[in-house]
Structure 1
Amino acid sequence: MSKRNTLLLKILLFLFALNSISIFFYFTSHSSSSSHSNNTHPFSNIRPFIQPQQQHQQHQRFSKPWPILPSYLPWSRPSRNNTNVLVPLPSCEDYFGNGFTCRLEPFTGAGWFRCWHSETLQSSICEGGRVRMVVDRIRMAKGGEELKDVIGRKEEDELPVFQNGAFEVDGGEDFSGNEEKMVVEHDFLDRYVRNGEVMMHTMRDLISKIRIVAGKDFSCHEWIEEPTLLVTRFEYANLFHTITDWYSAYVSSRVIGLPNRPHVVFVDGHCMTPLEETWKALFSSIRYAKNFSGTVCFRHVILSPLGYETALFKGLTEDISCSGASAQELWQKPDNHKTARLSEFGEMIKAAFGLPLNIRNVRKPVSGHNVLFVRREDYLAHPRHGGKVESRLSNEQEVYESLKSWASDYNGCKINLVNGLFAHMSMKEQVRAIQDASVIIGAHGAGLTHIVSALPETVILEIIASQFRRPHFAYIARWKGLDYHAINLVGSHVDPGTVINELISIMKSLGC
């Protein structure tokens, strides 16, 4: 066996061992989570409180296993109290989600509720057991409809408004329930689930309406046995903002230590969009809250923070000075100024679609280098969208035709210019195009967010009109450790020769 194959085998065995350890810690941590307060497993009192007529209404659903990711690093086990942290603050690990180390337990009964807080992100991941959702107490559109059927619907009709008791947790037989008691007080929310810059913090509002009920009153039409993420989406049709939601949901799953990928329930009334293809690929299943009839109870529910609270979004206004590095490098030499988390997440997206992962970190083009030109076209994204996208590059077609002519006559290695019309491609096809590209070029726009799934050697060339001079993709490239170049324009017109000259320099750097 060659040294390379021996190393690869060792890496795969190591990753398998890490996955086994995470499963072990999930069950051991949950079995001891409430021992200091009532000496019982948080799930130990579940069966006695299930009424006999409810037994046939429990549903077991298939849960997808976690894939083995080359960039995976263990997610730190949270501390056992609300003062200790496992890494210095702030570090890149904290910013990218591995800093939810402050443990808070506002309620433990037959059911339970707790949160993990990150001082760096000023955000909390909360979870609970024996939690009931009463859908009739959530005011919003049904959600999941065909776009054509809801044209003109207002945004306020799609975002949830919760009544007290929209969610309830089982207080057990000892809880009297004579007076209304919420699972957390407002001072808890003000400290750990802050509004921040979000005008309507739906997750904070949801938590504020969780009520404790007596065990005798805790009955359900349907039981969900598997861990389930509750997610409220905002910019559900915009790729950049949706990726922040994907990332938050992924981080929440890893921080909690779920042994398999969770199921997702959308607590919003948005219609279906093509981006749901990735939600379905990443997680075990998706379902809309309003698609349930009656009350539904969860054995284990996780409240995923808003995507606005991730480093991907906070980095637009905060100085998150982190650079990308390989997991192998950070495993051997931890560095608070580097991260492999975004690369790990990009690999998760590729693995979810069944695309091959870059295990050896080497690119050897057989049929030439792919230069992917990500383009913008008119498309209908949501009920309030007229179908016209804002022009980011006024002469995009001229640039594409010039690049096509240049690529066909290039004297170096073979160049395949790929016409990246993402509006006409499935999400899997878009991710595959990103993965296959040696160079990704495009005007500033949400489609470039896909570079989270780019291979480490990929070069990014962003063309930035003066009115869209924002750092989204420069930051993502830095956090991924990608080679990034930008052409900053005066206005929205670019000289094709300028783009070609920049590409010639990039191709030479690739040995072409």
Structure 2
Amino acid sequence: MAFNNYCSKLCMQYRHRRRRYFLLNLFVITLCLCAIFPFKYHIFQLSPSKPLPRNSSFSDLLRKEMTLNCTGDPLTTWCAAEMKYCNSSLLIYKNLFFLTRSAILQTIHAEGKRVGGEQIQAVLNQAENDEYFHFKKDFLQIPCNASLPRGITLQYHLSKILSSITSYQTSANADLIVNESTIAVNRHDYANIYHTMTDLYTAYILCRFFQRDPKSVRILFLDAHPHGNLDVYWSKLFHSYSRLGHLKKYSKILYHEIIWAQPQAQSDIDVQRHRKQTPSFFADFRQHMLKQFHADSTATRTVNCESLQIFYLGRRNYVAHPRNPSGKVTRQLPNEKQVLETLQKKFSGYSKLNFTYNYFEQLPIEEQLQTIARTDVFIGMHGAGLTYVTMLKPNRALVELSGPSWQSQDHFQQLAIINQVRYRQCAIQDESPTVAEKIFDCTKEKVLELCPSIMT
């Protein structure tokens, strides 16, 4: 108290001091402020280094049974295929994904040429293989007094990570401790909204399965991809994301819980699943995403036939990843400008139809989602952008424009089914002078399904 009184008195008398005492008094005042207002230093809310307890101190955590959410498909089958090892420090689900508790990551055993997060212009033409780590033995350690599992087959990178597991039996020191639940994701086509959406849904449904709040869960990228425009989805839908390559300055990291997500190809909304019904919590996933970007997240099936919103998504060249430095985008209408002018003129003849178009390549994601959320009929060329059919309200419509070479692809028809959206494939010939007329007819068909008397 006396020290604080001295500081206060010194501050009041400061202006009467001589100039030669200026620096000395300033230094003392700084010390006073530090004494009165102590502060703490935080780095990304991650705990500083401290000793790991012995295995016995983990017993309560490891013996604690998790309450899983087994609602719907595929969660029911995941629950039924749970395998526990090493006092529940390792749990494997349907040979798709696994969870580790009180696990140590030894980053030196993740070998790679890149760390990830670089600007695209700095890594143009780099080999795709340079954007992945190779996981060696001892990369992942768990507290285990029993024999580690053998003969379990997981796919892609998870097989390597599972094979890298060794046990630690005694106390160890961690350079970093992460207390929050973490989902480890190894992305492939990170710059493609279709593959990004499948990964996002996987991470979200894992949160629901383990009953974790998505906004409290951290994402750990196991890849070394450069920075991409779609990375913001991860920081918006979840607590935050970090890159394994950026954590290599720490030799040992203790994670209290890591969920090792299944590869993108095994996502439950990937085309290879051939889904004909909506998977667990998909409507909640849509709502969660739209809310994070301040878009209309309601799911009303009622269509406003007094003002029907028709949106055409165009395609422009842009550089999305290092292996396409020219930014050339395929599947573009060569006469798109003329087609759009014709469509604009045709739809303008109906007072209750509002036809608009735009390009998403340079548009902020928030505006992209807001546009889709208010769309009733969505038109676009076959391509990743049609993934946004998952963000339409149910009982809306997608018109997919398909050239001869990709008419057999049903990616977006499946996504439309999952989101309970009407679908129409519109076969077109790029150079045909009747392309605009064909698109108009296909769109008119879906418009009349939604609002039978709107064009009379």
2:108 pairs with 1:130: no
Question: Hey, what does 2:377 align to over in structure 1?
Answer: 439
User: Paired residue for 1:373?
Assistant: 312
* Alignment: residue pair count: 386
Deviations 1:310-365 (A, max 9, x none): 2322x44x54333x5xxxxxxxxxxxxxx564333222211222323215543437
1:462 corresponds in structure 2 to: 400
How far apart, CA to CA, are the structure 2 residues paired with 1:448 and 1:492? 22
The 2-side partners of 1:298 and 1:265 are apart by 11
* Paired residues of 1:460 and 1:485 also in contact (CA < 8 A): yes
CA distance in 1, matches of 2:394, 2:299: 11
Distance 2:269 2:185 in 1: 17
Matched, 1:113 2:113: no
Cross-structure match for 1:276: 231
Structure 2 unpaired stretches of 5+: 1-56
Determine the C-alpha separation between the residues in 2 that align with 1:147 and 1:464.
30
User: 1:11-410 to 2 correspondence within 5 Å?
Assistant: 40-42=59-61, 77=69, 93-94=72-73, 96-101=74-79, 102-108=81-87, 112-117=89-94, 123-140=95-112, 141-171=114-144, 175=145, 183-185=148-150, 187-188=151-152, 190=153, 193=154, 195=155, 201-216=156-171, 218-261=172-215, 262-292=217-247, 293-294=249-250, 295-313=252-270, 315-316=271-272, 319-322=274-277, 324=278, 339=279, 341-358=281-298, 360-364=300-304, 368-386=307-325, 387-408=327-348, 410=349
TM-score, normalised relative to structure 2: 0.78
CA distance in 2, matches of 1:128, 1:492: 55
Q: CA deviation at 1:129?
A: 1.1
Q: Aligned partners of 1:260 and 1:379: how far apart in 2?
A: 31
Q: Partners in 2 of 1:183 and 1:384 — Cα distance?
A: 40
SS of corresponding position for 1:419: strand
SS of alignment partner, residue 269 of structure 1:
coil
SS of 1:371 mapped into structure 2: strand
Q: Which residue identity does 1:116 align to in structure 2?
A: Y
Change (3 A) 1:129 1:138: same
CA distance in 1, matches of 2:385, 2:339: 18
In structure 1, the partner of 2:410 is 471
Question: Residue type matched to 2:385 in 1?
Answer: G
Identical-pair percentage: 19
Distance in 1, Cα, partners of 2:90 & 2:227 = 31
- Looking at CA atoms only, which structure, 1 or 2, has the larger radius of gyration? 2
What's the CA shift string for 1:80-113, capped at 9, x where partnerless? Answer: xxxxxx8xxxxxx43x55531211012227xx11
Amino acid in structure 2 at the alignment position of 1:41:
D
Distance in 1 of aligned mates of 2:264 and 2:235: 18
Q: What code does the residue aligned with 1:311 have?
A: D
Unaligned runs of 5+ in 1: 1-37, 46-74, 79-85, 87-92, 118-122, 176-180, 196-200, 325-338
* Amino acid in structure 2 at the alignment position of 1:115: I
- Whether the aligned pair in 2 keeps the contact of 1:134 and 1:166 (CA below 8 Å) is yes
Residues 11-31 of structure 1, C-alpha deviations (whole Å, 9 max, x = no match) = xxxxxxxxxxxxxxxxxxxxx
* 1:457 Cα deviation after fit: 2.7
Corresponding residue for residue 4 of structure 1: none
Q: TM-score, normalised by structure 1?
A: 0.70
Q: Answer with 384-393 or 126-135: which moved more.
A: 384-393
CA offsets per residue over residues 191-210 of structure 1, 9 Å max, x none?
A: xx2x3xxxxx1122112212
2:77 alignment partner, SS class: coil
Query: What is the Cα-based RMSD across aligned positions, in Å?
Result: 2.6
Give the distance between the partners of 2:338 and 2:384, measured in 1 at CA. Answer: 21
Structure 1 partner of 2:366: 428
